[in-house]
A and B are shown apart, each in its own frame.
Chain A
């Protein structure tokens, strides 16, 4: 059976070395580029001629944009709408990477199944939150770690816990997405391996392979759902963290 981890292998397409660092263009970079290309196609077609009564393409873009704006309105308030393009970019990038990685047969690679990529995205959120927080509240931003109404004698402990939880956010954000994508793809590959293994029984060819194949079809549907849900969760958590920076709880 094929190694289920093989699909996550990074292949160098254009080896590149800058000042001793490896800047190679890899299959991961390629699929990120394809994702951005797909998003660009979607957005440029949808916003080519913006009209008061939208056409199909514009309605699709508007639907997604309003989805993000509603999320920001709900979780951050009117102030949060300023960050709608960035949250939208994060959401659509994760969504495109997740969904394109589900395409079978063509050797699609899922960049979001790599912790380096998800951590990079989470770092964008973290840096944004820190910059916005200090820009809006200055040193007052540190009161984020002092929840209101905490008894004074446990305050140091609570502040330490709050600070640690704040620091752990980019890691949880990154690991959640990476783990979901990796687990899903491993599962698909394992059941795919079962199809081959069971289907090659000499006596009754193909018959036993049908069961894991059916499971794989169902899993594919589930993985599509997870691809969308994880993109949503990523954007939702980003906007909740942004709320801390904008409103200090």
Chain B
């Protein structure tokens, strides 16, 4: 086998050393670290972008929370306002109802008084009319002129009886 011929060792080793040195120092060293830097830069960029996205998401979440809180507060304030308005309206209507009831009560009393007055005057005029009619009837039927006061007293006694 030519592999085990010692005469082949030295030329191969010498050329291997020279060629591998060229490969390492003039091919790999000037080129590969460039790619390494690009890979690192890419990883850094991706990591940075992810961080930026993360912080943007956090910001958005904070905004969302603040928005929700604001909405809640506004809703509560609006509800309180509505409740207050409702209460005020109820109170105002109650007051008005009360005063209206007073007015109506007054009017009713007045009307009742007027009714009683009217009733009494009607009764009085009825008594007078009855006395007059009775006097006239007695005069026509019996031809007696009974005095007015007597008739009235008799009628009153009959009313009582």
Contact = CB atoms under 8 A, between A and B. Distances in A.
A120 B13 contact: yes
B39 interface: yes
Contacts of A39: 23, 27-28
A31 to B, nearest CB: 10
A22 B10 contact: yes
A206 B27 CA distance: 47
Q: Interface size for chain B: under 10, 10 to 19, 20 to 34, or 35 or more residues?
A: 35 or more
A86 interface: yes
**Interface SS of B by simple majority:** helix
A125 B45 CA distance: 35
Contacts of B15: 23, 25-26, 28-29, 32
B31 A62 contact: no
Interface string B22-37: 1110011101111111
Given A23-B14, A32-B19, A46-B35, A89 B28 contact: yes
Interface residues of A, number: 52
A8 interface: yes
Given A23-B10, A25-B15, A47-B35, A9 B2 contact: yes
Interface in B28-61: 28-29, 31-39, 41-42, 45
Given A36-B19, A36-B23, A89-B23, A65 B13 contact: no
A115 B2 CA distance: 10
Interface in A108-130: 111, 113-117, 119-121, 124
Contact of B12 (A50, A51, A69, A120): A120
Nearest to A182: B3
A120 B7 CA distance: 15
A44 interface: yes
A93 interface: yes
B24 A120 contact: no
A99 B7 CA distance: 26
Contacts of B20: 89, 93, 120-121, 124
Contact of B16 (A43, A46, A111): A111
Contact of A10 (B2, B27, B35): B2
A117 B39 contact: no
A133 to B, nearest CB: 20
A33 B1 contact: no
Contacts of B45: 52
Nearest to A9: B2
Contacts of A10: 2, 5, 8, 11-12
B31 A43 contact: yes
A46 B5 CA distance: 39
B11 A26 contact: yes
A227 to B, nearest CB: 18
Contact of A52 (B8, B11, B36, B42): B42
A61 interface: yes
Contacts of B67: none
Contacts of B2: 5, 8-10, 114
Interface of A: 5, 8-10, 12, 16, 21-26, 28-29, 32-33, 36, 39-40, 43-44, 46-47, 50-52, 54, 58, 61-62, 65-66, 69, 84-86, 88-89, 92-93, 111, 113-117, 119-121, 124, 178, 182
14 contacts: A5-B1, A5-B2, A26-B8, A39-B27, A40-B23, A44-B27, A47-B31, A51-B38, A52-B42, A52-B45, A62-B35, A62-B38, A88-B28, A120-B16
Given A21-B14, A84-B36, 8 more contacts: A10-B8, A23-B11, A28-B15, A33-B19, A47-B35, A52-B45, A61-B35, A117-B16
